Structure 1
Amino acid sequence: MLADARARLDRISARAAFQELIAADGLLVDIRPAAQRAADGEVDPALPVLVVERNVLEWRFDPRSDAALPQAGFGTRVIVLCQEGYTSSLAAESLQRLGIGRATDVVGGFAAWRAAGMPVA
């Protein structure tokens, strides 16, 4: 299942994700649960990052949903982040199935983000 999902994604590095955020070309979505964010840290909130836990991701990003976030849109560049890059691949592929064709994820997740020296809080 993971290999199938990843075959549909153009996965990006933490550094590439950061560059897209700085260029205002993408929206980083951290899908990790609150306990994991508390234990391991968070992406610097000064960046365009949204926290949307995995269990509500689809209905918050489906533009047709009554509960869609204002940032949700079929053309939105959504970059999904989990702890190590496994759950995020499945989540990004699910967003693509919803019609958000520019969805992808960060290779290595938050662990790679931190290891690459990207901003954390």
Structure 2
Amino acid sequence: MRRKIALAFTTTTLMVGTVMAPAAFASTTAAQAYTCHYSVSGGKAYAGFYSGNTAIPSSNVVTTAGIEAQCLLRRAKFDPGVIDGVFGSKSQAATKKFQTLMNNAFGYNIAIDGVVGSETWPALRWYAEYNA
């Protein structure tokens, strides 16, 4: 009888542990951090993840445009937070500061919306090259 109880207890413990472990692991896992690999071409900076000027980084999924924009913001000395490819509130705030600087100091007319789109990409690539 003891053996059956012990076996049942062990099986239950293993099953609960298996079910509970992934949830606990997921809640303690840090965001993936990417490493930026900068290069320069034609007076513009690139970080090795996205080379275009039209993709808009997503605020809820990892994108190569998100990683690229975060890397360039960091190189330009605007802190986007963790380079994780998800363009969250810290990355958007850094982008708004960058857009404000470009409008005020260099005469750009970029919407100050925290979005790295077709108006912001060229300015960000240029500024990240010359102000690293």
Task: State whether TM-score is above 0.5.
Answer: no
- Point out the structure with the larger helix share: 2
TM-score norm. by structure 1 comes to 0.25
